[in-house]
Amino acid sequence: MSLLDVSSFAAGQWIAPGAGARNIASAITGEVIAQAGNDTLNVQGMLDYARSVGGPSLRKMTFHDRARMLKALAGHLNQHKQALYDLSFNTGATQSDHMIDIDGGIGTMFVFASKGRREMPDGHVYLDGDVEQLSRNGTFLGQHICTPLQGVAVHINAFNFPVWGMLEKLAPTLLAGVPAIVKPATATCYVTELAVRLMLESGILPDGALQLVSGGLGDMLDQLGMQDVVSFTGSAETALKLRANPVILRNSVRFVAEQDSLNASILGPDAQPGTPEFDLFVKEVSREMTTKAGQKCTAIRRIIAPESQIEAVIAALSERLAKTQIGDPRLEGTRMGALVSNAQKRDVMEKAAIIGQEATRVFGDPERFDVTGADAAKGAFVPPMLYHCEAPDTAERVHDTEAFGPVSTIMGYRDLDHAIALANRGQGSLVASVITHDPAVAREVAIGAGAYHGRLYFNNRDSMKESTGHGSPLPHMVHGGPGRAGGGEEMGGVRGVKHYMQRTAIQGSPDILSAIGEKWVPGGTEIEGPAHPFTRKFGELAVGETLHTAPRTVTLEDIETFAHFTGDTFYAHMDDEAAKRNPFFPGRVAHGYLLLSFAAGMFVQPDEGPVLANTGLDNLRFMKPVAAGDSIKVRLSVKKKTPRNDEYGEVRWHVTLTNQDDEIAAEYELLTMNAY
Ligand code: NDP
């Protein structure tokens, strides 16, 4: 069989393997199937190309342009995923493992595409938080902004998720506006290479936005500067070596690391055998042990159960694990494939032996297990192995040794504090889960263990049907953890995009802030439009365009009519004496909703026109009560415009209601959809 040549993509050229290329073996047969790497790769040229060609093109686009690009990329990969599945079986992964890696990666990209459109502006500057009042009269304000880094993101990925591992980093990077150089782990880089090829061939990406290093990275890290980011997933040992690079330290290059993790799962004290939680626990643990043959950064390595339940858990878990059919991942009945390589198998067995010094193996014998459809002696097959540690307080290795395969250790706890202490002995993990139906248990764990874990996953009979699984990092939620887990953070929605941007504090006048943020700030110049703003199309309205209404006096009759019409006869509106006893009111006052309704009546232009719909209010505050006899007027300003589709865009209006003394009675943001 001819070897698969896994190329790199550098400065617009595919570079085939050459001097120093490494061999890659099939996980199933152990035979060499591919080669990757070329010592002559011009890494400086790649960095230059990303910085001078990819970065500028990406930064010209708005967040929405880039979000649309991600959606198109994800759609393209989705159409071609069968080719990725076919190739990926060689890594030892089953079809359900592919769903996590390939479909999961594509899904992650879709989520970032959608978050980019919904939660980020159609502009070049992301506003982080609200305007800060830095002065008494509001002529000097503060605002935090984020803009894309002007360097390159170097993504160094682990072998276990050749597609998801790339896309979960690539999506937020590209959305931020930063070009990426992806360096997959050599063991599975042929799958990543195909995914990169598909993305590049789609023509969706601008030149220089994505490059690929298959094989060694050369001295790329020695060439990085302060605008670059390294985002790493892999072993703690490699992370330490790379983050200690003097150039990275000297130039304060951002280094995001996601490394080893001794994730725990706790069986709640309430989850006795016979409860839905007990069964759920056994199911989740066995799934986490066997999915991807345990080669998951989030897999459950430590099973923490009440001492009184240890025997029951071992029995139930063993029964379930015994049903795991191991074999060629292409076969339909296979539940667990092979480890990625025989080197990885040796590593897992060495680590299992270390764990074995403090724990007894109670399930799984690596010398005696069935493998279907493949040669167990040649492929990297191992059975699920369950260890029992009887003295978890004095044990060390079970809390610090990650056997990156289907290996877990069960240990007993005396009470919940003990369970929390054991979970925290991992010294920082990506995820810990608790299977409990008792909210008080969940709260205690959240407070006691939150600081040690990047994610806490609670599951029980109420959520189990829809829950996403202990081991699934979701694009919406933070993935990463403190301490041993690397101290980094990825994803978490827009938070993950910010890792590739610089946050800058901006201070200045309202007009300066309005111009920078493309969003009108109260106190900024008000633009008088040529006609009522409701008669103006989306494209015609200017940010800052403002309407001032005539005043309207609020009468007692208005208040009573509104009260009886709506049924809101709350005493503050109806009973003067009772209202006076309330520290907020001088006596009877108008309903807040009456004021909002009057405001609309004062600022709308009723004719059919470009305003299509009122889609909501944000940040509503009633600041000063309005009593009968007071008069109110409204200022309506265009705060921000966001195109939504080919027909209409969203206009965010800043609305301020003031009384006869120019005191603010109410303030809010009104959202409308306006035709182009
Ligand atoms: P490694 O740390 O060996 O490799 C991770 C990545 O770093 C790979 O892309 C690797 O490339 C690259 N790399 C290694 N050395 C260098 C270097 N000197 N310069 C630049 N890049 C380098 O991890 P593996 O993926 O091989 O996995 C090994 C172990 O890592 C597992 O057994 C497990 O313990 C842990 N791991 C933990 C994960 C987690 O998130 N908790 C996830 C995956 C793995 P190359 O392959 O070419 O050497």
Cα 7 to ligand 1 centre (Å) = 19
Would residue 25 count as lying in a domain?
yes
**Residue 568 lies inside a defined structural domain of this protein:** yes
Query: CATH number of the domain that 595 lies in?
Result: 3.10.129.10
The two tokens of residue 367 are 């010398």
Query: Do residues 132 and 183 both lie within one domain?
Result: yes
User: Do 245 and 221 share a structural domain?
Assistant: yes
Distances (CA, A) of 146 to 92, 177, 459: 41, 11, 36
Closest atom, ligand 1, to C-alpha of 296: 42
Would strands 432-435 and 8-10 be described as parallel, antiparallel, or unpaired?
Answer: unpaired
Q: Would you say the CB of residue 258 lies under 6 angstroms from ligand 1?
A: yes
Domain carrying residue 650: 526-675
Same domain, 39 and 98: yes
The interface predicted TM-score of the complex, written ipTM, equals: 0.93
309-360 tens-digit pLDDT: 999 999 999 999 999 999 999 999 999 999 999 999 999 999 999 999 999 9
The answer, yes or no, to whether any atom of ligand 1 lies below 6 A from the CB of 192, is: no
| Whether pLDDT at 484 is above 90 | yes
Q: Does the pLDDT of residue 628 top 70, yes or no? A: yes
Q: How many helices (H) and strands (E) does the chain have?
A: 22, 28
Instruction: Kindly report the pTM of this predicted structure.
Output: 0.93
> What is the 41 CA–ligand 1 centroid distance (Å)?
20
Radius of gyration of the chain from its Cα atoms, rounded to whole angstroms? 30
The answer to whether residue 1 scores a pLDDT higher than 70 is no
Residue that is written with structure tokens 């008792």 in the block? 438
Residue 540 CA to residue 532 CA, distance in Å, equals 12
Q: Total structural domains in the chain?
A: 3
The answer on 425 and 402 residing in a single domain is yes
Taking the C-alpha atoms of residue 551 and residue 561, their distance in angstroms, rounded to an integer, is 20
Question: Is the residue at 662 inside a domain?
Answer: yes
Q: Same domain for 247 and 362?
A: no
Token pair of 121 as six digits: 């502006």
Residues 343 and 421 reside in one and the same domain: yes
Full DSSP string of 313-349: HHHHHHHHHTT--BB-TTSTT-SB---S-HHHHHHHH
The whole-angstrom separation of Cα 77 and Cα 449 is 39
State whether the beta carbon of 157 lies less than 6 angstroms from ligand 1.
Answer: yes
CATH of the domain at 405: 3.40.309.10
Residue-level pLDDT at 645: 87
Confidence of residue 2 (pLDDT cuts 50, 70, 90): confident
124 and 18 share one domain: yes
Query: What mean pLDDT is predicted for residues 588-612?
Result: 97
Same domain, 48 and 132: yes
Residue 432 lies inside a defined structural domain of this protein? yes
**What pLDDT, on a 0 to 100 scale, did the predictor assign at position 273?**
95
Hey, whose CA ends up nearest to atom 16 of ligand 1? 238
Ligand 1 centroid from CA 403, angstroms: 14
Q: Check pocket membership of 214 for ligand 1, CB cut-off 6 A.
A: no
Residue 607: its H or E element: none
Nearest CA to ligand 1 atom 9: 185
> Is the CB of 8 inside a 6 Å radius of any atom of ligand 1?
no
Name the residue at shortest CA distance from atom 28 of ligand 1: 235
Ligand 1, residues 161, 168, 238, 348: which to mutate, most atoms within 8 A of Cβ? 238
C-beta of 262 in contact with ligand 1 (< 6 A): no
Q: Which residues are catalytic?
A: 258, 297
